[in-house]
């Protein structure tokens, strides 16, 4: 998203597919758990990419970010 914003352009079709596949932080809450040593490198990288406020908001979103499988959405009329 930063690259798109900095370039002042919309996402290309392949980029749109990648962004559409993002399920949110709720799928990997251990990313923000300091006890999860297996995510320490990724957590540090993410903290370096986001502002402190963005990081806080991403961390807060794990409580209400839930992945819904696309086939289920289509069956239920949500997609």
Nearest C-alpha neighbor of 26 from the set 71, 70, 73, 58: 58
The encoded tokens of residue 23 equal: 């399920």
Which sequence spans correspond to the domains of the chain? 25-79
- CA distance between the termini of the chain: 23
Average pLDDT for residues 39-63, to the nearest whole number? 93
pLDDT tens per residue across span 10-49 = 999 999 998 888 778 888 899 999 999 999 999 999 999 9
| Per-residue pLDDT at 68 exceeds 60 | yes
Does this model's pTM top 0.75?
A: no
Q: Quick one: CA dihedral 20, 70, 79, 28, positive or negative?
A: negative
């Amino acid at each position: 998203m930063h690259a798109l914003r900095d370039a002042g352009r919309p996402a290309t079709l392949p980029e749109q597919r990648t962004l559409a596949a993002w399920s949110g932080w709720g799928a990997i809450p251990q990313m923000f758990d300091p006890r999860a040593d297996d995510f320490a490198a990724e957590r540090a990288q993410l903290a370096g990419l986001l502002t402190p406020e963005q990081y806080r908001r991403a961390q807060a979103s794990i409580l209400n970010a839930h992945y819904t499988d696309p086939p289920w959405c289509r069956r239920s009329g949500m997609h």
